């Protein structure tokens, strides 16, 4: 089955801009239908469209309110027979026959679960993201879901925040590219295709900057940072044609997003021309009461609707209060009409009026072979090799016996990760199962988990795992996090391995056998100690249904790791927030600083110098952004710029040779970073501007060109104007954010 459309412009220039389809152009005939229907609606029916409920189980009870036109959308309904039954009530028994929009959180797969979005981001491959979303859309739409609350494109620079799992990590450009790809995948060629589902970029906006990495917490993002870092992925999603947006739970600088007219009206509607639905997050309208931004549900409805929200998720403050607010003149009739126009427009674009029902006789597409194959490919490309001393991986034929230990080796539920309302563990293939099945004829497997689950503190069985390690040639230790430890509301203050997993790694390492630590987790963990004890480390953000076969192929060399860290791995929690694209201080770390264990007793106050670092952690992370090894090595050479001086309309072409200097066919993720040396405001020390995957046979050398329009060097300057400022720039082409030789160029007016 062909899942992907080809976007030649995308492949050529690798730009968000060239990949974008843009909002659907206004279709006059469709707008006329919207106006005609709107003119027939009573105020109650209009307000009903603005109401989204969560399915409450009883068709008869729901039918009563559907018939009266009091519901526009139902969330969490996934039984195709029930979907059709409810839709029949809306279409055939309500006065105007307006179809329902059925919604569900389909974030990284419906039944076939793909790696969590943070894992997909590690592939640096928009095709993985697009294909994953396409598969999710095909499966979800087959049961009647036509709206998903994804992609989650919150920039997250704090791994304590459990929801870092759901997004594409810390980088604005990577998140923009991957998020736009997901929008295209969910929505397909046209929203009216029955396999398309409306995307909902979320959470608009700034949610990932929750203070202290504690979910729902306040954020304090000034407008320039908002525009330079947090908004661009949402703008890219709008350009990719996203049909809906969701407001976020957080208050930013005192204003909850659900009541923030600036971001909803000024930015989203006026600046970006968005004409689809803005929905609240779950009860985020009435949560403005807890925030202290509204006194009661009536004021919550008032502030949300007047800020530009069209639909309320589950908290009923709109249906209960808007009639009175209109009577009192506090909400204008025209505001309601605009909201309903947005909702009807998307329902028309989805083709729901022409084609409201599901074909119940269609054969199931759930867990289709092609879907499982795509999920496996995604898991392979998402895995990151963090360490590989002495070519421990891939395992060669010399390895006759492997000890498989650790609580994540055979944990089908856990490896699916967060957001798996519909994924089933019975369909999930674990590494233990896959290694036995796929490589059982090559190696003898001794399985001793040592711990029952990741948080298990009972060390009794660790001795058995160590005994197994002693009998094996290599130890494969599967550790990490259960899925419940990341995701919404699941934040951590300590990012070391939970339970007795560190003790387990220490015990198996003590045998002297090479330990390959395979991590499955929802976030970067502070695993420096375990990295030191391991010969090799393969990191997988929860890899989903096909994680087992993907990891098995990577361990045994049928696949070669190519993933790169989409987020910085700190050494210690105290270093957080930590991200590569930080601004420089006036006293940057020199990396020659004396650290805590080397400071002489009674050292003089100023004897250590004065730079920006931690006495106990230094300056550098455990692993930087964009980092990841391969079984081969790559050499960059002959890096050249098309010109050392450019003007604002030019396109900079960066050419270089990339050679595979090792013995495995492999793919390198090439990254292009720039630094704007001096600005009207300080600029990040590095910013990712391009990336591409280059596949090379052993010994093969390819000439690669990356093109970067100078216009993409623009940022919001001292006057809050988006512009390219003339001056000097640094440029690096490398395999991660910390290496590579600097080249320079100049932009002139
Ligand atoms: C709350 C979450 O914040 C949001 O991401 C999700 O889509 C809604 N609940 C609906 O389940």
Note if 676 is an active site residue.
Answer: no
The number of the ligand 1 atom at minimal distance from the alpha carbon of 150 is 7
**Cβ atoms 289, 303 nearer than 8 A:** no
Tell me the fold of 634-748.
Immunoglobulin-like (2.60.40)
Asked whether the predicted pLDDT for residue 331 surpasses 80, the reply is yes
Q: Which two tokens stand for residue 609?
A: 């110098």
Query: Which residue in the block uniquely carries the two structure tokens 């709206």?
Result: 147
Q: Encode pLDDT of 632-686 as tens digits.
A: 999 999 999 999 999 999 999 999 999 999 999 999 999 999 999 999 999 999 9
Kindly give the pairing relationship between strand 277-279 and strand 244-246. parallel
Q: Is the CB of 215 under 6 A from ligand 1?
A: no
Q: Whose CA is nearest to atom 10 of ligand 1?
A: 282
The number of the ligand 1 atom at minimal distance from the alpha carbon of 200 is 7
Asked whether the predicted pLDDT for residue 12 surpasses 70, the reply is no
Backbone angles phi, psi at 637, to 5 degrees: -150, 165
Helix and strand numbers (H, E) in the chain are 22, 25
Asked whether the predicted pLDDT for residue 615 surpasses 60, the reply is yes
Asked whether the predicted pLDDT for residue 23 surpasses 80, the reply is no
Q: Encode pLDDT of 232-248 as tens digits.
A: 999 999 999 999 999 99
pLDDT of residue 22: 59
Q: Is the CB of 110 under 6 A from ligand 1?
A: no
CA–centroid distance, residue 257 to ligand 1 (Å) = 14
Distance in Å from the first CA to the final CA of the chain? 50
Residues 6+ apart with CB under 8 A from 621: 568, 569, 570, 571, 575, 578
Asked whether the predicted pLDDT for residue 7 surpasses 60, the reply is no
CA–centroid distance, residue 283 to ligand 1 (Å) = 10
pLDDT of residue 21: 57
Q: Which two tokens stand for residue 684?
A: 């990040």
CA–centroid distance, residue 152 to ligand 1 (Å) = 10
Alpha carbon distance 43, 331 (integer Å): 12
**Is there a shared CATH topology between the 45-349 domain and the 634-748 domain?**
no
Q: Is the CB of 553 under 6 A from ligand 1?
A: no
Q: Is the CB of 216 under 6 A from ligand 1?
A: no
Continuous segment of H or E residues that includes residue 30 = helix 28-40
pLDDT of residue 2: 41
Q: Is the CB of 207 under 6 A from ligand 1?
A: no
Q: Does domain 45-349 have CATH number 3.20.20.300?
A: yes
Q: Which two tokens stand for residue 483?
A: 């899925």
SS3 category, 189: coil
In sequence order, the β-bridge partners of residue 152 are 202
Half-sphere exposure of 621 (CA within 13 A, CB side): 26
* 536-541 sheet: strands from edge to edge: 384-388, 536-541, 515-521, 474-480, 401-405, 444-447
Q: Encode pLDDT of 56-79 as tens digits.
A: 978 999 999 999 999 999 999 999
Q: Domains of the chain: which residue ranges?
A: 45-349, 634-748
pLDDT of residue 11: 36
Alpha carbon distance 664, 642 (integer Å): 32
Residues 6+ apart with CB under 8 A from 136: 106, 107, 108, 109, 110, 112, 114, 148, 150, 185, 186, 197
Cα–Cα nearest to 110, from 152, 160, 64, 145: 145
pLDDT of residue 58: 87
Q: Which two tokens stand for residue 75?
A: 């969330």
Residues 6+ apart with CB under 8 A from 67: 89, 93, 94
Catalytic residue among 281, 410, 553, 676: 281
């Amino acid at each position: 089955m062909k899942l992907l459309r080809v976007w030649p412009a995308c492949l050529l220039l690798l730009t968000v801009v060239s990949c974008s389809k843009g909002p659907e152009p206004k279709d006059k005939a469709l707008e006329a239908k919207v106006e005609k229907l709107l003119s027939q609606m009573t105020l109650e029916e209009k307000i009903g469209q603005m109401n989204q409920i969560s399915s409450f189980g009883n068709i008869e009870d729901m039918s009563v309110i559907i018939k009266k036109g009091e519901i526009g959308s139902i969330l969490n309904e996934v039984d195709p027979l029930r979907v059709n039954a409810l839709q029949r009530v809306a279409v055939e028994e309500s006065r105007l026959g307006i179809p329902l929009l059925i919604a569900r959180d389909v974030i990284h797969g419906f039944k076939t679960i793909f790696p969590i979005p943070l894992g997909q981001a590690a592939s640096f491959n928009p095709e993985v993201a697009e294909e994953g979303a396409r598969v999710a859309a095909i499966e979800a739409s087959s049961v009647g879901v036509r709206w998903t609350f994804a992609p989650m494109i919150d920039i997250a620079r704090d791994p304590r925040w459990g929801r870092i799992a759901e997004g594409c990590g810390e980088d604005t450009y990577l998140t923009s590219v991957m998020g736009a790809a997901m929008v295209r995948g969910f929505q397909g060629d046209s929203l009216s295709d029955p396999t398309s589902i409306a995307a909902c970029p979320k959470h608009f906006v700034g949610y990932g900057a929750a203070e202290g990495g504690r979910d729902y917490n306040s954020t304090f993002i000034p407008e320039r940072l908002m525009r330079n870092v947090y908004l661009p992925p949402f703008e890219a999603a709008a350009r990719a044609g996203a049909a809906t947006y969701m407001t976020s739970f957080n208050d930013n600088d005192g204003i909850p997003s659900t009541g923030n007219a600036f971001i909803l009206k000024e930015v989203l509607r006026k600046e970006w021309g968005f004409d689809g639905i803005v929905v609240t997050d779950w009860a985020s309208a009435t949560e403005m009461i807890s925030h202290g931004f509204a006194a009661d549900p009536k004021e919550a409805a008032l502030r949300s609707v007047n800020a530009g929200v069209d639909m309320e998720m589950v908290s009923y403050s709109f249906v209960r209060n808007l009639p009175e607010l209109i009577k009192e003149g506090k909400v204008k009739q025209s505001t309601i009409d605009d909201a309903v126009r947005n909702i009807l427009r998307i329902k028309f674009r989805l083709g729901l009026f022409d084609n409201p029902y599901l074909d119940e006789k269609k054969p199931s597409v759930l867990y289709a072979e092609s879907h499982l194959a795509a999920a496996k490919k995604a898991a392979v490309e998402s895995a990151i090799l963090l360490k590989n001393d002495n070519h421990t991986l891939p395992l060669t034929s010399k390895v006759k016996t492997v000890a498989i230990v650790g609580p994540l080796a055979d944990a089908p539920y856990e490896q699916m990760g967060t957001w798996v309302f519909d994924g089933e563990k019975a369909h999930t293939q674990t590494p233990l199962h896959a290694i036995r099945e796929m490589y059982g004829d090559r190696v003898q497997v001794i399985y001793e988990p040592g711990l029952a689950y990741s948080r298990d503190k009972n060390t009794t069985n660790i001795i058995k795992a160590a005994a197994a390690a002693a009998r094996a040639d290599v130890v494969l230790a599967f550790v990490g996090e259960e899925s419940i430890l990341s995701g919404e509301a699941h934040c951590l203050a300590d990012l070391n391995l939970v339970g007795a997993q560190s003790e387990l790694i220490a015990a198996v390492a003590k045998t002297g056998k090479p330990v390959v630590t395979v991590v499955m987790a929802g976030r970067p963990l502070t695993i420096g100690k375990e990295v030191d004890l391991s010969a090799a480390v393969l990191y997988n953000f929860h890899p989903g249904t096909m994680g087992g076969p993907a990891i098995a192929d990577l361990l045994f060399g049928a696949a070669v790791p190519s993933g790169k860290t989409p987020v910085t791995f700190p050494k210690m929690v105290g270093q957080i927030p930590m991200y590569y694209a930080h601004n420089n201080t006036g006293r940057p770390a020199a990396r020659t600083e004396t650290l805590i264990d080397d400071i002489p007793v009674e050292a003089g106050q100023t004897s250590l110098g004065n730079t920006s670092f931690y006495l106990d952690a230094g300056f550098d992370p455990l692993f930087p952004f964009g980092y990841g090894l391969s079984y081969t090595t790559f050499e960059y050479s002959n890096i050249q710029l098309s010109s050392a001086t450019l003007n604002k309309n030019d396109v900079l072409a960066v050419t270089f040779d990339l050679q595979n200097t090792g013995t495995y066919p492999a793919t390198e993720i090439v990254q292009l970073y720039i630094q704007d040396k001096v600005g009207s405001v300080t600029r990040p020390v590095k910013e990712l501007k391009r990336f591409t995957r280059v596949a090379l046979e052993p010994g093969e050398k390819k000439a690669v060109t990356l093109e970067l329009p100078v216009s993409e060097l623009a940022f919001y300057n001292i006057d809050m104007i988006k512009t390219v400022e003339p001056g000097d720039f640094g440029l690096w082409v490398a395999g991660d954010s910390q290496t590579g030789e600097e080249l320079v160029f100049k932009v002139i007016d």
